[in-house]
Structure 1
Amino acid sequence: MTMDRRTILKQLGGVSVAATLAGCSVQQQDGGSGDGGSGSSSDGSDGSSDGSSDGGSSTDSQGPAGTATAWWSLSDSEKAIREGAVSTFNEQSQHTIEGSDISDLQKKTSSAIPAGQGPHIFDWAHDWAGNTYEQGFTVDQSDQVSISLDQFTTTAQNAVQYEGNLVGLPFGAETVTPIANMDIVDSVPESMDEMISIMDDYHDPDNGQYGLSYPFDPYFSSGFLQAFGGHYYDPQADEPLGVNSDEVVRGLEYALENLRPYMPNDPSYEPQAAAFNEGNAAFAINGPWSLATFSDNDIDYEVFSFPEMEEGTQSPYTGISVWYFAKPMEEGGADATAARDFVEWYVTNEDHLSMLAQEQGAIPVLDSLVGSSDLPAEVQAYSESAGQGTPMPSAPRMDDVWDPVGNALTKAFNGDASAQQALDTAASEIRSNWEGRGHS
């Protein structure tokens, strides 16, 4: 697969975003108990969408106008498109959405929602589904939505439900995958051995040049840590907690031996990402949110799916982007209707979802767009990597997994502990946290 960076993503400014979205028809729905499809459907159906490119149900809103609050946490390039979508909805709907970008969304929702000061809807990945519902931050809207889940992929359908409760609606998928700097790399590698060889040829840290730009945290590193059949946490497995299993230890050892030597010395996101953003790394492993920065910096890049390993297969964590229904939705009324109308429009509007794919590399989960030949080449690459990946667990116990594994990866990366020692410590800490919370 070859492509010229200049033929793919170009970041839109706010004016052009609004102009593009002006062609997306906003549908105004009554927000009542919908019979267009049960929100609690979980039969695995991934039937084709029954909606057209202008979005969901065409039923006009019969009630009074409402005002709903929406929260998100996005990069600057993502904000422009989100603000454009909200502006277009507000212009064409009787309702009003008031959106805010929140720097620490998890902390803010956790404090504001119980205090009655939270949003009607908020945007985050699906791994919050279980914990937010258990804590009462999100609520079931299966009897209120007016669209059918059947028009989304099976993975997306499952991601927005927790124990039969519809806590939100999906609008995209994302994962991480390799990216080549084509000013440095002659061609995309077909195997990990070839990729490592290219990294070795280019790596010259004394002159600020690196073989690989790769944030080393539990999410980004999951592809390699789970490459040999292991898992961090799988509630369906005989041994749900697998962070210090032989398979995961082997995955970490592989990453430490084959990837760590070619990376900047700080494992955190910003210094790792900067190496590629500034044109000083042959490869990056990053998500679609990073692409606009590459374009802004005039980097000639190519996104490709994970190359074949001699043994094992990379299995990165994948996330489904969700508009969550927050606790204020229980109050009903015009404001709740406004929030539902916006979400239902946003998640079914083919024009807008196609633009997210074109501009941000977002992987569609609406069946009518999945696998479309019109999708950009980089989205197809992300989709291929997502296809071999593993959805992040959304069970509440997963919340206690992230930090201990993150600490373990940092220790191992810095040489302060072996892979086995670091992951053994993580497993012990996770079990202790579970016991403290009353989890078996």
Structure 2
Amino acid sequence: MTMERRTLLKRLGTAGVAAMLAGCVGVQSQGDQTAQSGGESSTAGGSGESAGTAKAWYALPDTELPARKSAIKQFNQNSAHTVEGADISDMQKKTTSAIPAGQGPQTFEWAHDLAGDYMERGFIVDQGDKLNVSLDEFTDAAAEAAQYDGNVVGLPHTAETVALLYNKELVDEAPQTVADMKAVMEEHHDPSNNKYGLGMPFADPYFLSAWAHAFGGYYFDHTKEEQLGVAKPETVKGVQFAVDNFVPYMPNDPTYEPQASAFAEGNAAFAINGPWYLSTLNEKGVDYGIAKLPKPEGGDPSPFTGITLWYFSKKMGEGGPSAAAARAFAEWYVTNEELLLKNAEETGNIPVLKSLAESGDLPENVQGFAEAVQQGYPMPAHPKMNKVWDPVKAALTKGFNGKDVPKAMETAAEEIRGNWE
């Protein structure tokens, strides 16, 4: 997973947060009630009750750090527990080295697709019987993402996917079809003057997933007899469609920064990107709209979707006050409506708490992403998926650069099968 795909917290809501926090973290979980006979204690503020200190890791850009620090500060001020936050530059590398060594955090924030690999390697643990929060409080997709093989491995707070962004100074309304989109891109594409029809990180399989899935294809699906779908005709058709219909209107570098910059600088009519991108657009003053992805003729775009979790690391399995502190923090964070709504307003985060997700009161831009989520296909959390990303990235890069798409995808499939063996 790349940093760009992460759903990020921008700002913490203010009015009423402290009161909600105190009410939430002051409630004992099932595990805490059991603990009074000699086990762990996980309450926040009761007389004679044990308080703990937990480490929480996250990966945020510099512009997002003040908000996260503010959130943790508010939690600490209103709880007998203490959470020590740390921004981690390479989350997967750091967690895979620290956790097996008995170090690292009690909880860390990342998308749900780590669940299978980390559960099988013993890096995360089930805390389902110790939670005061029911998974029924979240959308079905979020509740499913928080579990792996029957274990509750974290608590969800936001969804993420890619959607169509359009520059309102150049485009009157979002196109419903790719044919309509092409007509607008043709009108505005002028690379000699640094003007483009579209900015989309083509080399990233996550961003291309909507089109790889659009005609019945898939990269990987562990529920199918043929789990690997990279070289299937339907998948190749989707990638070829993207090459034929989008690449001619894009900057000539398929990586994230050049593609994202084209739209952020006001030089592209459209972008395909995610909610993490909105803080950049807001800083640049781009007047943008967000809509679900347009349909290709004979197909339906279906982008990968992800759910951001506060994971329960192996250290929580040790129990004690530190585990209780981590649970209390995660429970507060994922159920704090004002905090989650403020995140939606500021960064386009898509809440997965049912009371917000189903309220109909989300900001306009979030509705666009929410519709794209409804189009989407959950990222596989199976460990085999880890071997799929890089070979497909190489194949997409070849396709972008004019190489034979079927051959590139077959080469990727052969590499993936070799890596699995």
Answer whether TM exceeds 0.5 for this pair: yes
Amino acid at match of 1:163: D
Tell me how far apart the structure 1 counterparts of residues 228 and 14 of structure 2 sit (CA, whole Å). Answer: 46
How far does residue 378 in structure 1 lie from its aligned partner after superposition? 1.1
Tell me how far apart the structure 2 counterparts of residues 71 and 357 of structure 1 sit (CA, whole Å). Answer: 21
Q: Which residue does the alignment assign to 1:365? A: 352
Q: 1:61 to 1:432 in 2, by over 3 A?
A: farther
Of 218-227 and 146-155, more deviation after overlay is shown by 146-155
Amino acid at match of 2:321: A
* Residues 68-83 of structure 1: pairs in structure 2 closer than 5 A: 68-83=54-69
Q: Which residue does the alignment assign to 1:183? A: 169
Q: Which residue does the alignment assign to 2:38? A: none
Q: Does 1:314 align with 2:312?
A: no
Residues 322-376 of structure 1, C-alpha deviations (whole Å, 9 max, x = no match): 1100011112111111000000111111111111211111111111111322101
Q: Does 1:354 align with 2:341?
A: yes
Residue among 294, 318, 335 paired with 2:322: 335
Q: Which residue does the alignment assign to 2:3? A: none
* Residues 244-323 of structure 1: pairs in structure 2 closer than 5 A: 244-323=231-310
Amino acid at match of 1:318: T
Of 193-202 and 59-68, more deviation after overlay is shown by 59-68
Q: Which residue does the alignment assign to 1:33? A: 31
Q: 1:65 to 1:87 in 2, by over 3 A?
A: same
Amino acid at match of 1:392: M
Contact 2:10–2:347 at 8 Å: present in 1 too? Answer: no
Amino acid at match of 1:340: R
Q: Does 1:168 align with 2:168?
A: no
Amino acid at match of 1:82: R
Q: 1:180 to 1:20 in 2, by over 3 A?
A: farther
How far does residue 63 in structure 1 lie from its aligned partner after superposition? 2.8
Q: Number of residues paired by the alignment?
A: 403
Q: 1:228 to 1:373 in 2, by over 3 A?
A: same
How far does residue 286 in structure 1 lie from its aligned partner after superposition? 0.5
Q: 1:385 to 1:66 in 2, by over 3 A?
A: same
Tell me how far apart the structure 1 counterparts of residues 94 and 47 of structure 2 sit (CA, whole Å). Answer: 32
How far does residue 112 in structure 1 lie from its aligned partner after superposition? 1.0
Q: 1:365 to 1:13 in 2, by over 3 A?
A: closer
Q: 1:68 to 1:58 in 2, by over 3 A?
A: closer
Residues 239-288 of structure 1, C-alpha deviations (whole Å, 9 max, x = no match): 11101100110001000000011111111111111111111111110000
Q: Does 1:410 align with 2:393?
A: no
How far does residue 412 in structure 1 lie from its aligned partner after superposition? 1.3
How far does residue 189 in structure 1 lie from its aligned partner after superposition? 1.7
Q: 1:59 to 1:23 in 2, by over 3 A?
A: closer
Tell me how far apart the structure 1 counterparts of residues 9 and 134 of structure 2 sit (CA, whole Å). Answer: 32
* 5+ long unaligned stretches in structure 2: 1-7, 35-42
Q: Which residue does the alignment assign to 1:148? A: 134
* 5+ long unaligned stretches in structure 1: 1-10, 37-56, 436-440
Identity of aligned residues (%): 52
Contact 1:30–1:59 at 8 Å: present in 2 too? Answer: no
Name the structure with the higher helix share. 2
Amino acid at match of 2:189: H
Residue among 371, 374, 388 paired with 2:361: 374
How far does residue 23 in structure 1 lie from its aligned partner after superposition? 5.7
Contact 1:30–1:337 at 8 Å: present in 2 too? Answer: no
Tell me how far apart the structure 1 counterparts of residues 94 and 356 of structure 2 sit (CA, whole Å). Answer: 34
